[in-house]
């Protein structure tokens, strides 16, 4: 809405609208902007205030902890939980329509549950690992976003399950605890769907989408995939990108689309390195059944979304969307040529290098066509990363590297200056 306020003076000066109409428009949209900004500040301050109050109470209790008996410690251990429950109940009864109160109460209850679990465990000397504590805490905090209709507790939950996946998984010891991450994730997905339905273009939806994508990527890294990690991770980023395209088509920069494109750009360059594809075959043994199901499900979902987006004629970058197919092709070549390791590596790196080059140019040209600086420079950055990767992975002289960097810099500056000029001519 800010751009409308900035354009009012130009509209009045050009005679498109009268001075009175311009003043009325300015007052209307400035009031809306002020209300929106103040609402966000109130929510932020309420969350911060609830966090500080909870931390202060815990510190006060901790100061006198050693002087208290076990019954007193037990009572004080339950105090944070009971206090946060009282705040949440009062919020539901008296301030159910206030976003600030709901978010603040949700954060207080998340902190209260964690504090009570930790204090009770310390009082009765209940041993356990960090993963055990997080698992109990996550189970008890899952209902909070649903009961209070609060997004910040859902953000905390998504961060918590990602940390739990990291603490519960050890690839070298064969720990299979991390697949439980996807069960935890399934518990919060209905809440995410309800937030999207209520306010598809809202800031809370954007924040929750970003947290969801990052948490899923981290959870996937902590799952025992072994030789299936390449198709699984590439398909995840493809799914994130296409879901962003199909669910949030109105957003120019929606989080899922951006995260998916960033992941595809990074992986497309990383997979061109020879060391990623060892001379021996990728380790396919020891893959847990959940990893197989997850990799197959993500690959099928990516393909189904791609076909759906094409059928609906969505506006999206085809080069980004087909990356999971290219990763599957590379894995197929790896398996087919496993008896000829040198030929295998040359073939795979050539296929993926050509794809990354096409992705970079296609993204850059798309940015030029749409007059989008982020898309243009994203494609150019992929091209720069690909050139650097080839220098690292191959033997080139310093002169050749210098010439390549000079040409790439000229290309980036020229494309951006052309974009600026085209935008100015279009505005005039």
Q: Which residue has the tokens 């009765």?
A: 124
Q: CB within 8 A of 295, min separation 6: which ones? A: 225, 228, 231, 232, 235
- Asked if residue 35 has pLDDT above 50, the reply is no
To the nearest 10 degrees (0 to 180), the angle between helices 229-247 and 323-336 is 160
Per-residue pLDDT, 269: 92
Integer Cα distance of 92 and 101 in angstroms: 9
Q: Does residue 399 fall inside a structural domain? A: yes
- What are the pLDDT digits (tens) for 274-328? 887 764 445 555 556 667 788 889 999 999 999 999 998 888 899 999 999 999 9
CA R_g for the chain: 26
386, 269 Cβ separation under 8 angstroms: yes
112-157 per-position pLDDT tens digit: 888 888 878 877 777 778 888 899 999 999 999 999 999 999 999 9
Q: Is residue 371 part of a domain?
A: yes
Task: Evaluate whether 43 touches 72 at the Cβ level (below 8 Å).
Answer: no
**Does a structural domain hold residue 124?**
no
Q: Give the domain extent around 350.
A: 225-428
| 189 domain residue, yes or no | no
| pLDDT digits 0-9 by tens, 350-387 | 999 999 999 999 999 998 888 888 888 888 889 888 88
The number of domains in the chain is 1
What number of other Cβ atoms are within 10 A of residue 415's Cβ? Answer: 19
Angle formed at CA 241 by CA 294 and CA 319, multiple of 5 degrees: 105
Helix (H) or strand (E) holding 210: helix 203-221
Q: Is residue 112 in a domain?
A: no
The dihedral through the CA atoms of 231, 236, 237, 241 has a sign that is positive
**Residue 182 lies inside a defined structural domain of this protein:** no
The answer for 372, left when phi > 0, alpha when psi is -120 to 50, beta otherwise, is beta
Query: How many residues make up the chain in this entry?
Result: 428
The pLDDT-based confidence of 262 (bands split at 50, 70, 90) is very high
In a domain, 343, yes or no: yes
Exposed / middle / buried, residue 217 (Cβ in 10 Å: 0-12, 13-18, 19+): middle
In a domain, 272, yes or no: yes
């Amino acid at each position: 809405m800010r751009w409308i306020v900035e354009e009012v003076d130009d509209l009045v000066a050009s005679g498109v609208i009268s001075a009175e109409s311009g003043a009325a428009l300015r007052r209307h949209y400035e009031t809306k902007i002020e209300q929106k900004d103040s609402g966000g500040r109130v929510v932020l301050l309420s969350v911060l205030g609830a966090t500080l109050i909870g931390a202060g109470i815990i510190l006060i209790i901790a100061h006198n902890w050693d002087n208290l008996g076990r019954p007193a410690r037990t009572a004080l251990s339950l105090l944070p939980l009971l206090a946060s429950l009282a705040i949440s109940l009062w919020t539901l009864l008296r301030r159910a329509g206030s976003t600030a109160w709901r978010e603040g109460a949700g954060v207080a209850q998340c902190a209260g549950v964690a504090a009570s679990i930790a204090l009770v465990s310390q009082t009765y000397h209940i041993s356990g690992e960090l993963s055990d504590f997080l698992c109990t805490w996550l189970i008890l905090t899952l209902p909070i976003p649903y009961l209070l209709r609060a997004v910040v507790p859902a953000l905390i939950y998504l961060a918590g399950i990602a940390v739990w996946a990291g603490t519960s998984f050890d690839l070298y010891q064969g720990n299979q605890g991390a697949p439980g991450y996807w069960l935890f994730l399934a518990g919060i997905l209905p809440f995410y769907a309800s937030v999207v339905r209520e306010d598809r273009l809202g800031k809370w939806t954007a924040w929750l989408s970003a947290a969801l994508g990052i948490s899923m990527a981290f959870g996937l890294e902590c799952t025992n995939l072994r030789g299936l990690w390449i198709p699984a991770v590439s398909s995840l980023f493809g799914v994130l990108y296409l879901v962003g395209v199909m669910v949030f088509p109105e957003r120019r920069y929606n989080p899922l689309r951006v995260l998916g494109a960033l992941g595809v750009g990074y992986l497309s360059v990383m997979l061109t390195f020879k060391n990623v594809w060892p001379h021996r075959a990728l380790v396919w043994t020891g893959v847990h059944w959940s990893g197989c199901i997850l990799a197959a499900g993500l690959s099928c979902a990516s393909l189904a979304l791609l076909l759906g987006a094409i059928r609906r004629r969505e506006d999206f970058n085809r080069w980004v969307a087909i990356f999971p197919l290219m990763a599957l092709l590379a894995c197929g070549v790896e398996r087919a040529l496993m008896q000829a390791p040198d030929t295998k590596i040359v073939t795979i790196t050539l296929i993926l290098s050509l794809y990354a080059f096409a992705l970079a140019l296609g993204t850059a040209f798309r940015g030029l066509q749409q007059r989008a600086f982020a898309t243009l420079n994203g494609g150019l950055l992929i091209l720069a990363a690909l050139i650097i990767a080839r220098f690292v992975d191959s033997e080139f002289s310093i002169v050749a590297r210098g010439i390549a960097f000079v040409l790439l810099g000229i290309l980036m500056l020229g494309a951006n200056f052309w974009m600026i000029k085209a935008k100015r001519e279009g505005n005039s």
